Structure 1
Amino acid sequence: MKQKIVMKVPMYCRKCQTKALKIVAKENGVSFMALGEEKDSVVVIGEGVDAIKLAKSLRKKFKNTHIITVAEV
């Protein structure tokens, strides 16, 4: 089952965006990742991606991370 996860991550510069995408890329099952239409959002699509584990990984670098939506694709 493929999932689409949208997360709000405080990213203030291009370097922060790159770091966030690198953290997302390390997770198992990720097939697509991109920055959202909003400045501070990351969109992840994949099969078997654990949204809570992903949020914990992002919180280690970016202290204030929120899961906005988790939906099936």
Structure 2
Amino acid sequence: MKKIVLKVNIHCQKCKRDVLKAVTKLTGINQVTVDGEKGTLTVVGDVDPVLLTETVRKSGKVAEIMSVGPPKPPETKSSVKKPLPPWCYDCQLVPVSYVPYDSGPCSIL
């Protein structure tokens, strides 16, 4: 499986629809994303980057390969921060003084 990013001239919703319609006919695609502002088409799956580019070009759009590489790995549970226990939200430092019978005062912070 690989992630392929193409630079595609996308000017309007019709352009976006035409590109998506052409690309979704290919087999081996798991995910397709079109970013009109950046002018990129991102495809994740087992598809040939050259075949993908040719398919987009046949739809009447100018396309060039920007990158081909492994997809971003899914986020693992260990990288997710655990919330603090409820008792930690109420923690405060409170000054305490202690005066023993036979010596001077002692302060604990």
Q: Give structure 2 stretches of 5+ with no counterpart.
A: 72-109
Query: Which is helix-richer, 1 or 2?
Result: 1
CA distance in 2, matches of 1:37, 1:64: 14
Identity, in percent, stands at 35
Corresponding residue to 2:66 among 61, 65, 68: 68
Q: Which has the higher contact order (CA 8 A, sep 6+)?
A: 1
Partner of 1:35: 34
CA distance in 2, matches of 1:14, 1:36: 11
* TM superposition shift of 1:24: 1.2
Partner amino acid, structure 1, of 2:43: V
CA distance in 2, matches of 1:17, 1:42: 9
TM-score between both structures, scaled by the size of structure 2: 0.60
CA distance in 2, matches of 1:5, 1:42: 8
* TM superposition shift of 1:62: 3.0
Partner amino acid, structure 1, of 2:66: I
Asked whether the 8 Å contact 1:10–1:62 carries over to 2, the reply is no
CA distance in 2, matches of 1:39, 1:20: 15
When the two structures are aligned, how many residues end up with a matched partner? 71
CA distance in 2, matches of 1:62, 1:71: 26
Partner of 2:93: none
Partner amino acid, structure 2, of 1:62: G
CA distance in 2, matches of 1:64, 1:18: 15
Corresponding residue to 2:49 among 48, 51, 55: 51
Root-mean-square deviation (CA), in Å? 1.5
TM-score between both structures, scaled by the size of structure 1: 0.86
